[in-house]
A and B are shown apart, each in its own frame.
Chain A
Amino acid sequence: MRLSMPFNAALGNVNQTVTYTDPIEVNPENQLESLKALMAEIKNGQVKTLLMLGGNPAYTAPSDMDFGNAINACRCVSISASSMMRLRRCASGICRRHILWRPGAMRAPMTARSPSFSR
């Protein structure tokens, strides 16, 4: 991206084949740096309770961060749709329903009640 921006600017592509808009994130930031900052705060004992909304950073965070062991220092609460991958180290977990959890979720939506149901 950093490499391509000067190219597109030099070739006059901006607003032709490339457009830049406001970021779609509410709070655009460097997520890796943000995670590193969190890790530093956990290691310094500044985090008492860590609430995780979805995801499993112990599995997906860069391995050199050693997130799985670092969070032993604080109380963790995880809200996740994936119970299998939920952190075993979490003091408590709230299992959110998966989007396909509802029976019949994979079927076509029922648009009209069938006669068998109406009886």
Chain B
Amino acid sequence: MREGAKIALGSPVNTLYHFEKADRILSLDADFLQSLPGHLRYSRKFADRRRVRTKDVGRTDQPKPEQPANETMNRLYVVESTATITGAMADHRVPVRASQIEAVARVIAEKLSGWSGTALPANVPAAWIDAVRQRPDRP
């Protein structure tokens, strides 16, 4: 982690994720619901976006004044090498070997950038990668 930050940003940093703001989450072998530092906060914020709150009359789960209405749920994609809580919560989970996580990451990066060249691990469907890549506003 620290080395990654030094390579990417030039200095070690502390990373905070704001899962309450994320509509689509991709976890690359990161068990953020149980293992990452801050996982309790992350679990709470992640679950908050799973709770649909509308202002419909008659519903018991109406938002409290301090809570914004939440009409859409987040979507979690997990690529992982071992079974974790985060994988269990995933809407879309693909198990791959730890050695293949980087290849999956590279393929997704290539899809985003338009490059190509990395072979997808055999058990990862190409459609899965396309689903990850798709943005909600660009179906």
Contact = CB atoms under 8 A, between A and B. Distances in A.
Interface of A: 1-7, 9-11, 13, 16-25, 28-30
A1 B4 contact: yes
Interface stretch (B5-13, B52-60, B86-94): B5-13
B16 interface: yes
Nearest to B12: A28
Given A2-B3, A2-B4, A21 B14 contact: yes
Contacts of B1: 1-2
A23 B108 CA distance: 29
Nearest to A7: B109
A40 to B, nearest CB: 19
Contacts of A23: 2, 12-14
B28 to A, nearest CB: 6
Chain A binding surface SS class: loop
A5 B10 CA distance: 12
Contacts of B26: 7
Contacts of A16: 18, 21
Main DSSP-derived SS at the B contact region: helix
A19 B16 contact: yes
Interface of B: 1-5, 7-9, 12-19, 21-22, 26, 28, 30, 101-102, 105, 108-109, 112-113
B14 A24 contact: yes
Contacts of A10: 109, 112-113
A31 to B, nearest CB: 9
Contacts, number: 70
A109 B109 CA distance: 53
B50 to A, nearest CB: 16
Contacts of B12: 23, 25, 28
A90 B105 CA distance: 46
13 contacts: A1-B1, A1-B4, A3-B101, A5-B4, A5-B9, A6-B8, A11-B112, A19-B16, A20-B9, A20-B16, A21-B16, A23-B2, A23-B12
A20 to B, nearest CB: 4
B28 A17 contact: no
Contacts of B5: 1-2, 5, 20
A20 B4 contact: no
A52 B18 CA distance: 36
Contacts of A18: 15-18
A20 B2 contact: no
